[in-house]
Structure 1
Amino acid sequence: MLNPDFPFSYDHYLAHPAGLGSVPAQAHGTEVAVIGAGLSGLVAAYELMKMGLKPVIFEPEQIGGRLRTASFPGAPEVTADLGGMRFPVSGRAFYHYVDQMGLASEEFPNPLSGATSSTVIELTGESHYAVTEADLPEFFHEVARAWRASVNDGAAFAQMQEAIRVRDTKTIKEIWNALVPALDEQTFYGFIAASEAFKKAGFGHREAFGQVGFGTGGWDTDFPNSILEILRVVYTDADDGHRSIAGGAQRLPEALWEDAPSGMEHWPEGTSLKSLHAGSPRGGVAKIARAEDGSLEITERWGKTHRFPVVISTCQSWLLSTRINTEESLFAAPMWTAIERSHYMQSSKTFVMVDRPFWKDIDPETGREVMSMTLTDRLNRATYLLDNGPDAPAVILLSYTWNDDALKWLSLSAEERVELMLHSLAQIYPNVDIASHIVGAPITVSWEADPNFMGAFKANLPGHYRYQQRLFTHFDQAELPESQRGIFLAGDDVSWTAGWADGAVTTALNAVWGVVKHLGGSSAPENPGPGELLAEIGPMSLD
Structure 2
Amino acid sequence: MLNPDFPFSYDLYLEHPAGLGSVPEELHGSEVAVVGAGLSGLVTAYELMKLGLKPVVYEADQIGGRLRTASFPSAEGVTADLGGMRFPESGRALYHYIDLLGLETREFPNPLSPVTSSTVIELAGKKFYAETAEDLPAFFHEVAAAWKAALRDEAHFEQMQEAIRSRDARRVKEIWDRLVEDLDEETFYGFIAGSKAFKDAGFAHREAFGQVGFGTGGWDTDFPNSILEILRVVYTDADDRHRLIVGGAQRLPQALWHHSPAKMAHWPAGTSLASLHGGSPRGAVAKIARAHSPATPAGESAPITVTETWGRQRSYPAVVTTCQSWLLSTRIDTEEGLFPAEHWTAIERSHYMQSSKTFVMVDRPFWKERDSEGREVMSMTLTDRLNRATYLLDNGPDQPAVILLSYTWNDDALKWLALDAEQRVELMLHSLEKIYPETDIRSHIIGQPITVSWEADPNFMGAFKANLPGHYRYQERLYTHFDQSGLSAEHRGIFLAGDDISWTAGWAEGAVTTALNAVWGVVKHLGGSSAPENPGPGDALGEWGPVRLG
TM-score range, shorter chain: over 0.9
Tell me the alpha carbon deviations over residues 241-271 of structure 1, each in whole angstroms, 9 at most, x when there is no partner: 0000000000000000000112211111111
Give the letter aligned to residue 421 of structure 2. A
| 1:142-181 map, 5 Å | 142-181=142-181
2:320 corresponds to = 312
- Matched letter for residue 229 of structure 2: E
Hey, what does 2:131 align to over in structure 1?
131
Answering whether residue 529 of structure 2 is matched by residue 522 of structure 1, we say yes
**Match of 1:282?**
282
- Answer yes or no: is 1:466 the counterpart of 2:473: yes
1:332 matched residue in structure 2: 340
Structure 2 matches for 1:242-261, cutoff 5 A? 242-261=242-261
Matches of 1:499 and 1:341 in 2, distance apart? 17
Aligned equivalent of 2:497: 490
**CA deviation profile, 1:168-200 (whole Å, cap 9, x unmatched):** 111100000110010000000000000001001
SS at match of 2:93: helix
Alignment of 1:80-229 (within 5 A): 80-229=80-229
Residue equivalent to 1:353: 361
1:316 partner letter: Q
In the other structure, the counterpart of 1:506 is: 513
Separation (CA, whole Å) in 2 of partners of 1:74 and 1:205: 45
Structure 1 unaligned residues grouped into runs of 5+: none
Provide the rounded CA distance (Å) in 2 between the counterparts of 1:118 and 1:139: 19
**For the residues of structure 2 that align with 1:416 and 1:90, how far apart are their CA atoms?**
38
State the SS of the aligned residue for 1:474. Answer: helix
Once residues 428 and 25 of structure 1 are traced to their aligned partners in structure 2, the CA distance between those partners, rounded to angstroms, is 65
Partner letter of residue 323 of structure 1?
R
Q: Are 1:238 and 2:245 counterparts?
A: no
The C-alpha deviation readout for 1:204-235, integer Å capped at 9, x for no partner, is 00000000110000000000000000000000
| Structure 1 residue 391, shift from structure 2 partner | 2.5
The residue aligned with 1:452 is 459
AA partner of residue 85 (structure 2): M
Query: Which residue in the other structure is 2:330 paired with?
Result: 322
Q: Pick the aligned partner of 1:374 from 367, 372, 381.
A: 381
- 3-state secondary structure, aligned to 1:401: strand
Q: Deviations over 1:356-392 (max 9, x none)?
A: 00000011x2100000000000000000000000021
SS at match of 2:442: helix
**Which residue pairs with 2:400 in the alignment?**
393
1:525 is paired with a residue whose SS is coil
Aligned length: 542
Equivalents in 2 of 1:27, 1:39: separation in Å?
Answer: 25
Match of 1:344 in 2: 352
- How far off its partner does 1:396 sit? 0.1
SS of the residue 2:501 aligns to: coil
Distance 2:263 2:231 in 1: 40
1:53 aligns with 2:53: yes
Q: Which amino acid aligns with 2:485?
A: A
Counterpart code for 2:211? Q
CA distance in 2, matches of 1:480, 1:352: 50
Query: Does residue 79 of structure 1 match 2:87?
Result: no
Q: Distance in 2 between matches of 1:419 and 1:520?
A: 59
Q: SS of 2:314's equivalent? A: strand
Structure 1 residue 348 displacement after superposition: 0.1
State the AA in 1 paired with 2:74.
G
For 1:120, give the aligned amino acid.
V
- Cα offset, 1:99, TM superposition: 0.1
Moved more, 289-298 or 491-500: 289-298
Other-structure match for 1:432 = 439
SS at the partner of 1:64? coil
Helix, strand or coil at the partner of 2:439: coil
Aligned partners of 2:42, 2:115: CA distance in 1, in Å? 30
Deviation at 1:46, TM superposition (A): 0.2
Residue 13 (structure 2) aligns with: 13
d(CA) in 1 for partners of 2:258 and 2:428? 39
- Which one-letter code corresponds to 2:350 in the other structure? S
Compute the displacement of 1:74 (Å). 1.7
Structure 1 residue 347: Cα displacement: 0.2
Give the Cα–Cα distance (whole angstroms) in 2 for the partners of residues 155 and 316 of structure 1: 31
Distance 1:436 1:361 in 2: 15
TM-score, length of structure 1 as denominator length = 1.00
Residue 296 of structure 2 aligns with which residue? none
What is the rounded CA distance, in whole Å, between the counterparts of 1:305 and 1:115 in structure 2? 51
1:60-79 per-position Cα deviation (integer Å, ceiling 9, x unaligned): 10000000000000211000
- Whole-angstrom CA distance in 2 between matches of 1:219 and 1:272: 41
Rounded to whole Å, the distance in 2 between the matches of 1:464 and 1:345 is 15
Counterpart in the other structure of 2:484: 477
Matched to 1:321, the amino acid is S
**Take 1:471 and 1:242, find their aligned partners in 2: how far apart are those partners?**
28
- Aligned position for 2:298: none
Supply the distance in 2 between the matched residues of 1:391 and 1:204 (Cα, whole angstroms): 42
What letter matches 1:337 in structure 2? T
Report the Cα distance in structure 2 between the residues aligned to 1:295 and 1:237, rounded to whole angstroms: 42
Letter in 1 for 2:127: S
* TM-score, normalised relative to structure 2: 0.98
**Aligned mates of 1:181, 1:279 — CA distance in 2:** 49
> Between the two proteins, what is the percent identity of the paired residues?
77
CA distance in 2, matches of 1:343, 1:262: 40
C-alpha distance in 1, partners of 2:15/2:263? 15
Counterpart CA distance in 2 for 1:315 and 1:63 is 12
CA distance in 2, matches of 1:125, 1:516: 58
Instruction: Please give the secondary structure, in 2, of the residue aligned with 1:493.
Output: helix
What is the deviation of 1:292? 1.8
2:548: which partner in 1? Answer: 541
* Amino acid across the alignment from 2:33: A
Partner of 1:422: 429
CA distance in 2 between counterparts of 1:186 and 1:64 reads: 34
Moved over 3 A (4+): none
1:370 aligned partner, one-letter code: V
Give, in angstroms, the shift of residue 542 of structure 1.
0.4
2:34 match: 34
* Inter-partner Cα distance in structure 2 for 1:48 and 1:104: 26
